[in-house]
Amino acid sequence: MAFTFKKRSNLPGFGLALGYTVLYLSLIVLIPLAATFLKASALSWDQFWHIVASPRAVASYRLTFGASLIGALINLVFGVLVAWVLVRYSFPGKRLFDSLVDLPFALPTAVAGIALTTIYAPNGWLGRPLASVGIKSAYSPLGVAIALTFIGLPFVVRSVQPVLEDMDKELEEAAASLGASRWQTFSRVVLPTILPAALAGFAMAFARAIGEYGSVVFISGNMPMRTEITPLLIMTKLDQFDYAGATAIAVVMLVFSLILLLPINLLQKWSSSREEKTSALVPEEIH
């Protein structure tokens, strides 16, 4: 007589935990997103296109995506530099400096917006010297880029930092012993290791900046066709009780955000696989 045994999971309660997970995600994420698309479906295609392709909406897309890309690129460079300093050097106040990186996460976005506006206003600490050389920072597209750079920095730093900490320093020492210059060591040994994590941080900073509102609304000046970001345009339409118009533009932003999730997940997976293969790097790769 043959007996069959059902393979049990190492973690009990999988079915119940999965049910609660699906319920929670449905209430918090899936149902609100579905409601957004359902509300937009009440519009005809011509009405929808007229709203999302209006000159004011297009101008807000251009500023939102352009400033977000600029901020993410700046953070890609300086975020890697900050992570390198925090990992490779010891200096007084290092722990305080490290904690300040997370300030944009902890600081309310409205507070960040007020602080940045105060500093970069024409009579502010940094705005005044910039204005003296003809550079208008606050109430301009430059102010939007500054705010989006501020809120995106932690994503790159915190993505690259653990990779540098886990990286074997003997690889760099071996490269130096073989006569490689500092640039060759960085470009052939360090950069290939941290590149997936840096790109993942860049993508997350870019995605985060696209939906930012609180830190931008004060410093931008909110001038339609000039300094109006897309989230602000959505809020303006809601204030005007134009729910259909706000929903239509929200759908555009939502679709783009969903599209961004794929490369972000792929980059994170690539970063994890690169970390596992770090030990397989050999000194001969620098030649």
Query: Could you tell me the two tokens for 117?
Result: 């506006």
Q: C-alpha dihedral over 241, 242, 247, 252, to 10 degrees?
A: -140
Instruction: Tell me the pLDDT tens digit for each residue of 199-227.
Output: 889 988 998 999 888 889 889 888 888 89
Which of the four pLDDT bands, split at 50, 70 and 90, describes residue 52? very high
Look at residue 63 in the predicted model and tell me its pLDDT. 94
Look at residue 286 in the predicted model and tell me its pLDDT. 44
- Mean pLDDT for the chain? 84
Cα(159)–Cα(178) distance, integer angstroms: 30
Look at residue 276 in the predicted model and tell me its pLDDT. 61
Cα(208)–Cα(152) distance, integer angstroms: 7
Which of the four pLDDT bands, split at 50, 70 and 90, describes residue 69? very high
Section 50-69 average pLDDT: 93
Section 108-122 average pLDDT: 90
Section 79-100 average pLDDT: 90
Q: Which of 4-13, 128-137, 192-201, 224-233 has the lowest mean pLDDT?
A: 4-13
> Per-residue pLDDT for 193 more than 60?
yes
- Left if phi > 0, otherwise alpha if psi is -120 to 50, otherwise beta: which for 139? left
Contacts of 187 (CB under 8 A, 6+ apart): none
Section 15-25 average pLDDT: 81
Q: Which domains does the chain have, with CATH numbers?
A: 42-280 (1.10.3720.10)
Give the percent of the chain with pLDDT over 90: 31
